[in-house]
Structure 1
Amino acid sequence: MESSVSICPVPTEQQPVNEYQQLADSYFFGWVRRDLRSYVTKLACVWGLSWLIAGPVAAASFAPQKHLVQFILAGGAGALVFVMLILLRLYLGWSYVSDRLFRKTISYEESGWYDGQTWTKPSEVVTRDRLIVSYQVQPLLQRLKWTFGVIVLFVISGSLIWNFL
């Protein structure tokens, strides 16, 4: 397997397995790889900090002294926008790497955008990359999808509460 990788014409930083490793090692994209408690804590911190922007906007629309429930629901929904943007960025990054790992041929650039090439992976590289997708990346994408689903449930719940006010 090493011989196939060593004759790979793709620049090192554009090889899918190295792109995966970069994402896995990065602080931001590594959030999804953490244990569930740490992952949820990170997202809760983003949501809490987002209240610094969403809270005053919600207070301008719904005075907390008169309409406390509407203020909380509007501020919470506004803060969720930032969480959703973070989750979307995480999903797009991991999805991109998953796609590059899963493909049999990959596109790459030798020195710039004008000289794009494609390379067909040898079968052992395809197998290795697909194992990485199956056992490492797919669970992360699944976690992100579940997180999106939970947030949608929160939004629906908030909407139902809002309708009964």
Structure 2
Amino acid sequence: MCISKKTCPVPFDQQPLNEYFSLKTSWFFSWSTLDNHEYIKQIFSIFCFFFILFIPFVLSIVSNYSFFQILILDTFVVNIVLILIFIRLYLGWSYIIKRLVSAIVFYEESGWYDGQIWIKSTESLTKDRLIGLYEVTPFIKRIQSSLMILLLSVILENSLYFLIK
């Protein structure tokens, strides 16, 4: 999938298509590319891991609260951590789609001081835009939906916590 050096002066690791494949196969970003069932299962397993991990933390902070309040507080903390994870996922994928859809690619040959600009060929631009629109956009929309659900659950948990209190 590498473009020849004659056609594209951009180093291999900085070519938008190669950045996409690199992100798609990385351990952190790859689970956002799973099908819906596996994606939800992965989020649930991450939630359970952090829920168990943060129970001692929440118990050390609060002591005179009911079991239900501690559960809500722990869920609140876990959802905040999940929101941070999803923000990182969103930023990574939005960077990639920006590079794929853009007709101009900024790259560095050997360091920050010698940046160059490459204007994509029509063929390369078409291929990159198709991949960006049909493969990356669904990941971004799914991450945005997950973020909205998490934000709503944080608001709900916050309201529920103060109702119980």
The verdict on a shared fold, with TM-score over 0.5 as the criterion, is: yes
Give the structure with the higher percent helix. 1
Secondary structure class of the residue paired with 2:107: strand
Further displaced range: 14-23 or 123-132? 123-132
State the shift of 1:93 in Å: 1.0
1:90 corresponds to:
89
1:81 CA drift (Å):
2.3
Give the deviation of 1:117 after TM superposition: 0.3
Q: Which residue of 2 aligns with 1:41?
A: 41
What is the match of residue 105 of structure 2? 106
TM-score by length of structure 1 reads 0.89
| 1:131 equivalenced with 2:130 (yes/no) | yes
**Counterparts of 1:3 and 1:31 in 2: how far apart (Å)?**
27
Structure 1 runs of 4+ aligned residues shifted over 2 Å read 2-6, 51-54, 60-64
User: Structure 1: 5+ residue runs without aligned partners?
Assistant: none
Distance 1:14 1:8 in 2: 11
Residues 9 and 72 of structure 1: CA distance in aligned 2, closer, same or farther (over 3 Å): same
Identity of aligned residues (%): 35
- The answer to whether the Cα contact below 8 Å between 1:73 and 1:158 also exists between their aligned partners in 2 is yes
SS in 2 for 1:113: coil
Give yes or no for contact 1:102–1:133 (8 Å, CA) kept in 2.
yes
The answer as to whether partners of 1:47 and 1:79 remain within 8 angstroms in 2 is yes
Deviation at 1:6, TM superposition (A): 4.8
Aligned to 2:7: 7
Q: Secondary structure at the match of 2:116?
A: strand
Which residue number in structure 2 is paired with residue 32 of structure 1?
Answer: 32
Residue in 2 aligned with 1:18? 18
Partner SS, residue 105 of structure 2: strand
Q: How many pairs are equivalent?
A: 163
Q: CA RMSD in A?
A: 2.0
What whole-Å deviation, never above 9, does each CA across 1:31-60 have from its counterpart, x for those lacking one? Answer: 111011211222222222212442122213
CA distance in 2, matches of 1:57, 1:140: 33
The residue number in structure 2 matching 1:75 is 74
Report Cα offsets for 1:83-119 as digits up to 9, x if no partner. Answer: 1222122111111101111111011011111111000
3-state SS in 2 of match to 1:152? helix
- In the other structure, the counterpart of 2:141 is 142
Q: Within 1, Cα distance between the matches of 2:5 and 2:99?
A: 15
